[in-house]
Structure 1
């Protein structure tokens, strides 16, 4: 494929990935309007976001393996069609239940698209430095999407109404569906014919139940019987999945893939990184609106420095990784995230934006850009062409689970600290809680930096310019225009 067409294909893939990540956060600013118009109970309003996260996280491994077997372009288009149709249905939803259902279908479509998109990048870009640049761009948009969601959500909600945060996906999705057959190659694993239905059911059920346990733990109570039972159920299903994979002829996830040190270390670092980074967007939004009194648009624009610096960090990260390997940039990026979160924890109810938000945002953004590029490259290095969808599904899954776990932990810590605060002014008590949550995030980021130093391989071997990519035999994978 010509360089120009590969560049256009990359632009299409990263644009779609940006939209998928954006949709996890773009509805947050619109929640008050949605609640009023569709008469949501306050306790149920969070499910507008949770339904998307639950389906997205639960079906990612399934989507990644199906992309390997059925064809990555095919699954990219099918998932995007599902996502686009659900976006239209969500914007037209007449009731709360209809909107939550549409958001769940959106998440399912996203779970089919995301691993297919990442594995198509791995198929299109096989050269080390070129692949690192492509994965760097992919990681940058994934990281910046969280901040951009708050900005676009505020602009669309204030200007056109909450329905616009869903309708905006429709023209983008339709255009991407039309362009995909022209710009993207087809690629599939020709060697494996069978499909592990039992394993797919076990891992999808286990991951969905795990994410549900995490996103609802603060409502149900961490020490409640419901949380314990859900957690135990998730553990049983995931243990059963492991047993099934060790015994079936054509496993959904061949356990041998975990022998790769880079994949193991990259995925563990990704869990810890997203635990630290994703809740930061949530806390920053609440701090700016509930403590500083910003409106939705101003609060969204207040997070713009994170998106800009994250893109800058990602661009620098891909060059550093090509030269030095993933370990140093990943550990350094997580250390910067920890420093930024610790700085942000110094916020006050009467502080100024420049000192309490802008400075920490720049540090966190630069570090986060390094992190998202590094974990993506580390976790997919060494994957064969036939396993690229699976490796992509794994890294997307660990990021989703890490984000859900981190948000649950930070919300629990923040709530407890606010409730036990000695401050008499509500804004000050809220700030005390946010401070505690960000300190918890800083500790998690430091743990991630240590894990990266210990578990992620260092500089590539002599003569190699990037983390190694194992080329499969010609019979294993077929790529067609």
Structure 2
């Protein structure tokens, strides 16, 4: 392991730089959609595939990416994933047509699915003790949370002042530097012996893809469309087959015992729920900023700066708060604060103002998110052996990915069902009150599943 404090901090900074790049990739492109449509001639229907192509590949391959890191070494998996992501970013940035851009987005998702579990696994493996691990997880969650607003600001600025293409091309120099640095700074991790569980991998890939696509379809079409229902049925059948395979093969993609500890189950459920409410809130409030308050994408990004600053600031104190108050207490308080924040959002209307009506709920929401994400990650990864760090990280991230898809699809559906013509804010009350109910339910699940002092989950 790195011998000096400066060496370890530099290695952690490199790893977290990649996480920031991956975290902001979704929204840095979202704010450029209108310019991409004009430049490349996308149809309105095909434009949605720019974010969706990434989401499907990323969600579908996370479990496989996590296990590959355990088998070939986390640094090697990290570098392979980063290389694919950077090359795909280059291809997307110079794309001459819609089809090339969409294919590039697919490969960005592939690269992210390989690199992302290794980012989290390396943070836990490189830590010399619980304090360093909790500090690393806090920074990881802070970076992941602020990636949205950073992506909005940077994407808006690049699109406004240079070109939408630089929202993809910026990944190339940053990725190249981190790719070169990681080999010098981080030693390779131990490897798990065994064969790749191809049958489990295929059912996991297609099952995850079907599930994510089901929620995409629900948001775009309806919950009762044949495409949505068919996707969910396929996901259930494929995951059922996946768990049957994993219970029988000698070298499973996912050892089912990893999912057995009750605190870990609760942590995964709560993380999925709160991440879902967080992503859905970001999505709807972004639309509110633009549609009602009249902010352009760049100003909308700056309007999220209080969220960024609050999450990052609070997260710095979370490791010490975990020691003093315990994981469960922080998660319960965080869920309640998230609920309070979205209740504040439910009161927004056409006459609301940013400073008078939006800012305080944003801060409440931000504090709540900071108090849930790091303790939630700690409880999920508690007791995981180094040889299972990659797959455990993949499970955590796929729960967040699916939670985000569910949250956006569910809240958009509730919002749309209560929307009145020519009144954007009319559907916000019902959508955010539903989000508050889910956040309170997450607090109850925390109380039931997570002990005051978590035992080692083996």
Give the TM-score category using the shorter length.
Answer: over 0.9
Equivalent runs, 1:20-419 vs 2, <5 Å: 20-190=22-192, 192-418=193-419
Q: CA deviation at 1:380?
A: 0.6
The Cα offsets for residues 326-362 of structure 1, whole Å up to 9 and x where unpaired, read as 1111111111111001001111112111122211111
Residue of structure 2 equivalent to 1:464:
none
> How much has 1:104 moved relative to structure 2?
1.0
The answer as to whether partners of 2:293 and 2:353 remain within 8 angstroms in 1 is no
Give the aligned length.
Answer: 456
CA contact (8 A) 1:312 1:366 kept: no
On the 8 A contact 1:245/1:252 being kept in 2, the answer is yes
What do the CA deviations read for 1:375-410 (whole angstroms, capped 9, x no partner)?
A: 111111110011111110010100000001100011
> Any idea what SS the aligned residue of 1:77 has?
helix
Gaps of 5+ in 1: 461-466, 471-481
Cα distance in 1, alignment partners of residues 388 and 263 from structure 2: 15
Give ranges in structure 2 of 5+ residues lacking alignment.
Answer: none
Cα shift at 1:468:
4.1
The alpha carbon displacement at 1:321 in A equals 1.4
CA RMSD between the two structures: 1.3
8 A Cα contact 2:219 2:408, kept in partner: no
Say if 1:64 and 1:115, in contact at 8 Å, map to a contact too: yes
Instruction: Check conservation: 2:37, 2:43, Cα contact below 8 A.
Output: yes
Question: What residue in structure 2 maps to residue 447 of structure 1?
Answer: 441
Tell me how far apart the structure 2 counterparts of residues 154 and 434 of structure 1 sit (CA, whole Å).
Answer: 25
Deviation of the 1:4 alpha carbon? 2.0
C-alpha distance in 2 between matches for 1:24 and 1:296: 14
SS in 2 for 1:382: coil
Distance 1:358 1:220 in 2: 33
Name the CA distance, whole Å, in 2 between partners of 1:323 and 1:186. Answer: 34
Deviations 1:121-168 (A, max 9, x none): 111104111211111111111111122221211111111111111011
Q: Which moved more, 1:353-362 or 1:85-94?
A: 353-362
Q: Equivalents in 1 of 2:426, 2:190: separation in Å?
A: 52
Equivalent residue of 2:251, what SS? coil
Per-residue deviation, 1:68: 0.2
When structure 1 is superposed on structure 2, of 204-213 and 122-131 the one drifting more is: 122-131
Kept after mapping to 2: 8 A contact 1:55/1:111: yes
Q: Which residue of 2 aligns with 1:474?
A: none
Whole-angstrom CA distance in 2 between matches of 1:257 and 1:398: 14
| Inter-partner Cα distance in structure 2 for 1:391 and 1:196 | 16
- Show CA shifts across 1:215-240 (max 9, x none): 12132321111111111011111100
User: What is the CA distance between 1:438 and its match in structure 2?
Assistant: 1.8
Give the drift of 1:114: 0.7
Cα deviation, 1:429-463, whole Å, max 9, x if unaligned, reads 21011232222221211111111111123225xxx
TM-score (norm 2): 0.97
- Larger deviation: 255-264 or 245-254? 255-264
Distance in 2 separating the partners of 1:435 and 1:170: 42
SS at match of 2:31: coil
Q: Which residue of 2 aligns with 1:11?
A: 13
Cα deviations across residues 301-337 of structure 1 (Å, max 9, x unaligned)? 1111111111122222222113333111111111111
Q: How many Å separate the matches in 2 of 1:444 and 1:108?
A: 31
Q: Establish whether residue 438 from structure 1 lines up as the match of residue 432 from structure 2.
A: yes
Distance in 2, Cα, partners of 1:19 & 1:207: 23
CA contact (8 A) 1:55 1:208 kept: yes
Contact 1:128/1:322 (8 A) holds in 2: no
Q: 1:122 and 1:106 mapped to 2: Cα distance?
A: 25
